[in-house]
């Protein structure tokens, strides 16, 4: 068993867990997630959910299979998908008596001291009240221009920024891969899961592959960057499979599953 004294926990869930390959919502996974996080709050934990899936859900709503190249189209699809996601989260969490709130962020909000403090105050108020903040990048307005950098780029790094900003003890990242391996397990059958990583260095980054699924944006490199941020802030991160989100109970309890990044 691992020793994890985690009372404030950020959970990051990827598009691959929330959305089926056909573009439809994975209601079983979402229900498991809401059940598990509600259970953690009942145990006295403070929980923040960083949820991907807005564009994936929007594509499914519109019957599309490919993410369009044009930014305005992507942002319109995200607006549709974010509404659907929050509707389903509201339904499922309410089944377990759990209140939620939505926080949509852009990078400039986090960078600018006054707005950053306002956001942190909101987080603190919600957590103190036993509410689960559901965080996503504000895809409908976020852009990436030379003089106006508002995008985080991916929710892996967004989750680490949120976790370090609120002084979370633990970031649990659920992905389409069961942890960090010595080589790509999709290509090599003899790939070995690394259970514990104490330091994220250049050698570790050399093991990372490209991006993940066709609907998601993150790959292993973005997850290592998130782990690096958590380690530098004195926290810990676990990377594990999001196939069955109820695994979170076992991870928080200290069972050795996935990869633990802890100094």
CATH number at residue 194: 3.40.1160.10
Residue at 3 is within a domain: no
Rounded to 5 degrees, φ, ψ at 230 are -65, -40
| Three-state DSSP class for residue 45 | coil
Residue at 228 is within a domain: yes
Query: Which residues are part of a known binding site for substrate?
Result: 52, 139, 155
pLDDT in 10s for each residue of the chain, 263 residues: 888 889 999 999 989 899 998 888 999 999 999 999 999 999 999 999 999 999 899 999 998 888 888 888 888 999 999 999 999 999 999 999 999 999 999 887 888 889 899 999 999 999 999 999 999 988 777 665 434 445 566 789 899 999 999 999 999 999 988 999 888 888 888 889 999 999 998 888 877 754 444 434 447 888 999 999 999 999 999 999 999 999 999 999 999 999 999 98
Q: What is the pTM of this model?
A: 0.91
Q: What is the reported pLDDT for 215?
A: 36
Number of domains, the chain? 1
Q: Which two tokens stand for residue 133?
A: 């903040």
Residue at 2 is within a domain: no
Query: Which residues are part of a known binding site for ATP?
Result: 12, 175-176, 217-223
Residue at 177 is within a domain: yes
Q: What is the reported pLDDT for 33?
A: 98
Nearest to 107 by CA among 73, 81, 145: 145
Residue at 1 is within a domain: no
Query: Which residues are part of a known binding site?
Result: 12, 52, 139, 155, 175-176, 217-223
Q: What is the reported pLDDT for 222?
A: 87
Tally Cβ neighbours within 10 Å of residue 135: 23
Contact between 9 and 170 under an 8 Å Cβ cutoff? The reply is yes
Residue at 181 is within a domain: yes
Q: What is the reported pLDDT for 42?
A: 97
Tell me the residue range of the domain where 196 lies.
Answer: 8-261
Q: What is the reported pLDDT for 184?
A: 80
């Amino acid at each position: 068993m691992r020793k994890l004294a985690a009372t404030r926990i950020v959970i990051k869930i990827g598009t691959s867990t929330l959305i089926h390959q056909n573009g439809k919502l994975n209601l079983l996974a979402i229900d498991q997630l809401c059940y598990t996080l509600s259970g953690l709050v009942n145990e006295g934990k403070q929980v923040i959910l960083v949820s991907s899936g807005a564009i994936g859900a929007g594509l499914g709503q519109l019957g599309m299979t490919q993410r369009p190249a044009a930014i305005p189209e992507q942002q319109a699809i995200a607006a549709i998908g974010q509404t659907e996601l929050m509707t389903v989260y509201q339904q499922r969490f309410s089944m377990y008596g759990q209140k939620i709130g939505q926080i949509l962020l852009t990078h400039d909000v986090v960078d600018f001291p006054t707005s950053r403090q306002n956001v942190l105050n909101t987080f603190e108020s919600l957590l103190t009240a036993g509410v689960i903040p559901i965080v996503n990048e504000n895809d409908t307005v976020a852009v990436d221009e030379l003089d106006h950098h508002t995008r985080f780029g991916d929710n892996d790094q967004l989750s680490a920024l949120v976790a370090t900003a609120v002084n979370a003890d633990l970031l649990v990242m659920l992905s389409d891969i069961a942890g960090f391996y010595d080589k790509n397990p999709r290509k090599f059958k003899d790939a070995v899961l690394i259970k514990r990583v104490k330091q994220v260095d250049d050698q570790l980054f050399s093991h990372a592959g490209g991006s993940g699924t066709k609907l998601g944006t993150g790959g292993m490199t973005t997850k290592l960057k998130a782990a690096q941020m958590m380690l530098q802030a004195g926290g810990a991160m676990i990377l594990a499979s999001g196939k069955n989100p109820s695994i979170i109970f076992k991870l928080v309890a200290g069972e050795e599953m996935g990869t633990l990044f802890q100094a």
